Amino acid sequence: MKANLWKKIYFAVSCCIAIIIIFSPTLILGHGYSEYINMGVVLAGEVVMRITTLMVGMLVIYDSIKTYLK
C-alpha cells in the first residue's frame, strides 16, 4: 500500500517538474516564441533552448511513467 502511494507521489512530482522544465524558457524570458523580438543568432539559440527543454521535459515524464508502471 505504501509503495503504491509513493509511486503516485513520485509520478505527480515528476510531472510537475517536467512541466516547469518545459515552460522554463517562457518563465525566464518573460515571453513566448517571437520572430519579431529576436533576430539572427539569438533566434537560433532560443529555438535550440526551447527544443532542448521540451526534450528534457518529455524524458522526465517518460521516466516517471516508466517508474510508475513498474
Cell numbers found for residue 43 = 533566434
Give tens-digit pLDDT for 36-66. Answer: 665 666 777 888 888 999 999 999 999 999 9
- What does the alpha-carbon distance between residue 26 and residue 32 come to, in Å, rounded to a whole number? 6
- Amino acid 37: pLDDT: 63
Q: Which residues lie closer than 8 Å to 68 by C-beta, 6 or more apart? A: 7, 8, 10, 11
The answer to whether residues 7 and 46 touch, using CB atoms and an 8 Å cutoff, is no
Q: How far apart are CA 24 and CA 30, in angstroms?
A: 10
Entry pTM:
0.79
Name the DSSP class of 35: T
**pLDDT over 90 at 31, yes or no:** no
Give the distance from CA 16 to its chain's centroid. Answer: 9
